[in-house]
Copies of this chain bind each other. A is one copy, B any other.
Amino acid sequence: MQDKRYLMIPGPTPVPPKVVAAMTTPMFGHRTQEFQNLHKDIVTKLQKVFQTKNDIFVLTSSGTGGMETAVANTVSPGDKVLTLVGGKFGERWSELAKAYGAELIEENFEWGTPVNPQIVKDRLAANPDIKVVFATQNETSTGVTNDIESIGKIVADTPALLVVDGVSGVGGIEIKVDEWHVDILTTGSQKSLMLPPGLAVQSVSDKAWQVIENNKSPRYYFDLVKARKSLGKWNTAYTPAVSLFVGLNTSLDMMLEEGLDNVYARHKLLRDAARAAIKALGLKLMTDDNCASPVITSVCAPEGIGADDIRKVLTNEFGITFAGGQAQLKNKIFRVAHMGFADKMDVLIAISGLEMALTRVGYPVELGAGVKAAQQVFLGVQK
C-alpha cells in the first residue's frame, strides 16, 4: 500500500505532522524582525536542550557540516588532537582532523564498546600539548552511548577543548553542556530533533572561543567568529534555511511541552523494550546494557543469515525500513532507530515486523514472543 511506511533509520527520522505544517508557513525574509524573533526563540529553547548558557549557532548544512565547523574553527595545521573512535562517526572526526592538517592521535575502541575514560586521561597526561579532544556522544554506527560526563571531567582539567558529536543523540539523550564541560557540542536537525535534514546546531564555550579567535585554518561559510557577530543581532551570517528554522521552533516546542525529562525517559523505555524483545527472540545485541543507546538498537543477524536479507523483507512486505550495518558491519547487523518522533507502538511495529521477516528468511522464531517481551516492559510487569 502506498505511503503506509515506517521509517526506522537513524536519520532522517519521521517528521511530526505539526512540524510539517509549520514548515508550510509562507516564506519571509531573513533580515527581518520576524526572523530575528524566531531565531532568538530557537536559541533560547536550544539552550534548555543543551543545558547551557553558551552561544548556540544554527547552521544551514547537514550534521557533517557542523562537525567541520568545529574542526575548521579549532584546529590549525600541525595542532595535536586526540580522536576517540569506536565506529564510523568517530572515524569522521579523524578524517576531518587530517583534512585540516592536524597531528592526529587516534584512540580506537572496539566497535560496539564505549570509550574508556581512563585511556583518555592517560593520553592527555602523556601528551599535555593536545589541543582538542574529539568525542562522540552516540555512535550511531554501533548503537553505543559514551560517557561524556566522565570524559568531560578529565578534559576540563587540561588546556584541551572537548568537542562532542551529538548529531544523533541530542534531543533523545540528555547532555549537560555546562556541567559536563563540553566546549563544543554539535548536532543535526534530522535525528532526535524531529526535523528534515538541513540544519546543524552548535554550542561554543568561552574556553573554545579563546582557541577559535586564534585559529589559522581557512574557513568562510563555517566561520564561527563571523557567525557570532551576526548572532549578536539575531541574524545569521548567510541566508538560513528559513523553513527549517520555522520547523525547528515547533519541534522544540513539542519537546519542551512533553518535558525534557520525559523525552529522555521515553527514549530509554523504547530502548529497554526493544532490547527485551530482541533477547526474547534469541538474537544477539551488538552492545552491552551499560552503554546501550537510548535512540538506536543494533542487532546481530543470526549466524548464516544476511542482515540485509531481513531488511529487504521488512521493506518489501511490511513497509518498514531498518538501517543496515556500515563498513565492516555491513550485512552483519541491522539497526532499529527509536529516535525523535518515536513512541511505544513504533517499537511494537518494528518487533512484530522483525518476527515475520525472520520467519520468512528461514530463521523461525516464536511469533509474538518479542512483542510480548516489549509489552511487558511497557506495562511494567514482570516476565
Interface residues of A (CB under 8 A from B): 3, 5, 7, 9, 11-15, 20, 23-24, 26-30, 32, 60-65, 68, 71-72, 95-96, 99-101, 188, 190, 196-198, 217-223, 238-244, 321
Whether the Cβ atoms of B13 and A27 lie closer than 8 Å is: yes
User: B residues within 8 A CB of A71?
Assistant: 220
A168 smallest CB distance to B (angstroms)? 11
21 interchain pairs (CB within 8 A)? A12-B29, A13-B27, A15-B27, A32-B321, A60-B197, A60-B198, A61-B221, A64-B238, A64-B239, A65-B238, A72-B218, A95-B220, A99-B219, A101-B218, A196-B241, A196-B242, A197-B240, A197-B242, A197-B243, A198-B198, A198-B241
Q: How far is the CA of A220 from the CA of B218 in the complex (A)?
A: 12
Q: How far is the CA of A238 from the CA of B61 in the complex (A)?
A: 10
Whether the Cβ atoms of A240 and B28 lie closer than 8 Å is: no
Whether the Cβ atoms of B68 and A220 lie closer than 8 Å is: yes
* Closest 7 pairs between A and B when the two form their complex, measured CB to CB: A198-B241, A196-B243, A64-B238, A62-B239, A68-B221, A99-B220, A197-B239
In this complex, what residue of B is CB-closest to A24? B20
How many copies altogether? 2
User: B residues within 8 A CB of A198?
Assistant: 60, 198, 241, 243-244
A199 smallest CB distance to B (angstroms)? 8
Whether the Cβ atoms of B64 and A220 lie closer than 8 Å is: yes
User: B residues within 8 A CB of A13?
Assistant: 27
User: B residues within 8 A CB of A101?
Assistant: 218
Q: Decide yes or no: A26 and B3 within 8 Å by CB, A61-B65, A64-B238, A198-B198 being known contacts.
A: yes
Q: How far is the CA of A27 from the CA of B87 in the complex (A)?
A: 26
In this complex, what residue of B is CB-closest to A244? B198
Q: How far is the CA of A30 from the CA of B62 in the complex (A)?
A: 12
In this complex, what residue of B is CB-closest to A72? B218
A13 smallest CB distance to B (angstroms)? 7
Whether the Cβ atoms of A23 and B26 lie closer than 8 Å is: no
In this complex, what residue of B is CB-closest to A4? B26
Q: How far is the CA of A26 from the CA of B16 in the complex (A)?
A: 9
Q: Decide yes or no: A241 and B239 within 8 Å by CB, A12-B27, A68-B220, A218-B99 being known contacts.
A: no
User: B residues within 8 A CB of A95?
Assistant: 220
Whether the Cβ atoms of A188 and B239 lie closer than 8 Å is: yes
Whether the Cβ atoms of B3 and A218 lie closer than 8 Å is: no
User: B residues within 8 A CB of A63?
Assistant: 238-239
A164 smallest CB distance to B (angstroms)? 18
User: B residues within 8 A CB of A14?
Assistant: 26-27
In this complex, what residue of B is CB-closest to A243? B196
A76 smallest CB distance to B (angstroms)? 11
User: B residues within 8 A CB of A240?
Assistant: 62, 197
User: B residues within 8 A CB of A220?
Assistant: 64, 68, 71, 95-96, 99
In this complex, what residue of B is CB-closest to A20? B24
User: B residues within 8 A CB of A190?
Assistant: 27, 239, 242
A55 smallest CB distance to B (angstroms)? 20
User: B residues within 8 A CB of A60?
Assistant: 60-62, 65, 197-198
Q: Decide yes or no: A61 and B64 within 8 Å by CB, A99-B220, A218-B218, A240-B197 being known contacts.
A: no
A3 smallest CB distance to B (angstroms)? 6
Extra 17 A-B pairs, beta carbons < 8 Å, given A7-B28, A196-B243, A217-B218: A12-B30, A15-B26, A23-B243, A24-B24, A27-B190, A60-B62, A61-B65, A63-B239, A71-B220, A96-B220, A188-B239, A190-B242, A196-B241, A197-B242, A198-B198, A198-B241, A198-B244
